[in-house]
A and B are shown apart, each in its own frame.
Chain A
């Protein structure tokens, strides 16, 4: 399993697995194309605030972890802080997740 790095505004970095990142079709595309992102395993998302991107990274790992969860398994809720919900929604839309 290889890791990739998401870079936010103010150059904060968040490391997640490639599999988790690939849940977002947008990130997957960036990572598989021949663009710079593909070689460096870094995706620059400099429009996005660090605390929001951190939440996005958390979500992707959460989603990947439970991707095979069966119906009767209990899943923990994914918590979104109220004060972040508008901003996070716009980012989630952009990343198509």
Chain B
């Protein structure tokens, strides 16, 4: 941005860009000079480029995605390996042919995550099912070419195999698709995420099918209409899987009220352990949640394993709700806490806040955030490394920041 202001147009390529163009050029060259059916081509590519360990493969995938450089050519780097898990954060340039190659030449994959996979089509999905016999976990974001029929076919084939299914951002995943998923794989599923699915309206069937006794993760996020996900649905579902659940996300289900948490509370306590096993709890945008409701819920629910907690934009919450959280067992285990936009919080709750493991705190857009509070939070939370303060205009350049703590988003820090 500074360059733009100075009217500089010349930019020296980043080292990452230089490396990536070098890598792409060589892959192209090798592909042209060898027969593409040759089995050794992928390892030849990797060897020419200096080799890479299997552990670094996912790091490489992340770096390529970050640079928007993952395509059918660079995909070659990941073929014919012993990889078990693979995450592509940005597949927007991978064509359906690329997915087919991946399915054929990476047969050991058991966990596959394809984000922004807009070009994944019906044929490629069925290829993935057919060619990856060990696949148990699939996470797809944006697979809008896959239609109802193919989902149904896919889930039938994956019956008994699928333990984790995450899907987001597609309008072609319908009530029928969800029914097929649950009927075929409901008893094996340990992890289910349904986010931003525009054509899905019947969330009530989830509770009828989930029956795995070690169910761990449930995410129902941003339904297309808020009244699709009601208190009854959440309570009913948690009555089935609540006692073992480790990760719960209800982000953007803004129809939910205190009733969800008050009524589901007993189901969240694991009988054997006597506590709640939740490790992460995300309740973004639940603006009907009240302080009284949450105080009751937290006071009744010891959460000694809770590491990640998100109350972003739960506008009604006031100090007592957070005080109750800081008095809970969770205070000792919390690593990340998001309090963004809690405008009713005055700040009294931070007096008793002492979280020995907290490393990250987001308190953006909280009117109570002041210079003194930054100092206090640094002192009371010895491991705090990152404090986000976007939109907190009372935090000035004078705030005393403990060594080792990074404060992000101060107005006075802008260039």
Contacts and interface: CB of A to CB of B under 8 A. Distances in A.
A1 interface: no
B2 to A, nearest CB: 12
Interface in A32-66: 33-35, 56, 59, 62-63, 66
Given A71-B10, A90-B56, A83 B48 contact: yes
A92 B60 contact: no
Given A33-B403, A85-B22, A97 B15 contact: yes
A2 interface: no
B46 A86 contact: yes
A62 B22 CA distance: 18
B49 A82 contact: yes
B271 interface: no
Contacts of A95: 15
B67 to A, nearest CB: 8
B14 A97 contact: yes
A56 B15 contact: yes
A63, A78, A84, A93 — most chain B CB neighbours (10 Å): A93
Nearest to B56: A90
A67 B2 CA distance: 13
B225 interface: no
A89 B48 CA distance: 14
B18 interface: yes
Contacts of A3: none
B224 interface: no
A34 to B, nearest CB: 5
B63 A90 contact: yes
Given A82-B26, A85-B22, A86-B60, A92 B16 contact: yes
Contacts of B51: 86
Given A83-B49, A93-B66, A67 B19 contact: no
Interface string B18-52: 11101100100000000000000000001011111
B10 A86 contact: no
A88 B12 contact: no
B161 to A, nearest CB: 33
B16 A93 contact: yes
B412 interface: no
B12 A69 contact: yes
Contacts of B63: 89-90, 93
Contacts of A80: 15, 18-19, 22
Interface in B54-72: 56, 59-60, 62-63, 66
Contacts of B48: 82-83
B414 interface: no
A85 B23 contact: yes
A87 interface: yes
B15 A84 contact: no
Contacts of A71: 9-10
27 contacts: A33-B404, A34-B404, A59-B15, A66-B12, A75-B12, A80-B15, A80-B18, A80-B19, A80-B22, A82-B48, A82-B49, A83-B49, A85-B23, A85-B50, A86-B19, A86-B77, A87-B52, A89-B19, A89-B63, A90-B56, A92-B16, A92-B19, A93-B66, A95-B15, A97-B14, A97-B15, A97-B16
Top 7 A-B pairs, shortest CB-CB distance: A89-B19, A92-B15, A93-B63, A83-B50, A85-B22, A92-B16, A34-B403
Interface of B: 9-10, 12-16, 18-20, 22-23, 26, 46, 48-52, 56, 59-60, 62-63, 66, 77, 403-404
